[in-house]
Amino acid sequence: MHPPQWVCEAIERLSPWARLGWHGERRQFAIIDLYPQRLASQTYRERWGDNGPVFGTDYDRLARVPIWIDEVSPGEVFSGRVIRRVARYKTSLRDRARRAWSKRQAGRRHHLRESAGEQGQYLRWRANKSPHSGTTIADKHITKSEKAIAAGDYELKTGSEKMPPLNPMGFT
């Protein structure tokens, strides 16, 4: 099975030493990196060997060794999603770890802001809430004069005069 030419060209534009290989037994494509001969012995990754053909432009087989990086499904290759995976593998592990750390930190900052906002709203509500609540009395124990006061009839003790309405500004 051959990958589309545009995918191979896009991968080589992204990284001149990245290629696609076809592993016939597993019926999967593989991302392959062409390591220099002297560095190939220092890697912990598996050599491609004779697992199948390597697609892309030719390379010097004496100077470069194909190293197996990752398996890719045929669907990912034919849709072009493999290009993003190659770009991910070409960034250094330190950069990927730093980027993941910064994403986690951003999530933590967002969570902190959210919880701080909720706590601030709660504390504001508690500060504005009066600690002095009136004594609750059952309606059957309230006298007629207390009911009148609660209804807004402010009669003085003499009963003949009404109390003037309160001016909120304090002016007479």
As a whole number of Å, the end-to-end CA separation of the chain is: 97
Please give the structure tokens belonging to residue 31. Answer: 């991302």
- For residue range 16-36, list pLDDT tens digits in order: 899 999 988 889 999 999 989
- For residue range 155-165, list pLDDT tens digits in order: 555 555 555 55
pLDDT (average), residues 65-69: 90
- β-strand partners of 72: 29
List phi, psi (to 5°) of 71. -90, 150
Judged by DSSP in three states, 23 sits in: strand
For the chain, give every domain's residue range: 5-96
- For residue range 107-127, list pLDDT tens digits in order: 888 888 888 878 878 877 777
State residue 87's pLDDT score.
87
Q: What pTM was estimated for this model as a whole?
A: 0.54
Three-state secondary structure of 62-129: CCEEEEEEEEECHHHHHHCCHHHHHHHHHCCHHHHHHHHHHHHHHHHHHHHHHHHHHHHHHHHHHHHC
Q: How far is CA 26 from its chain centroid?
A: 35
Q: Are 37 and 64 in contact (CB under 8 A)?
A: yes
Cα–Cα distance for residue pair 112/116, rounded to 1 Å: 6
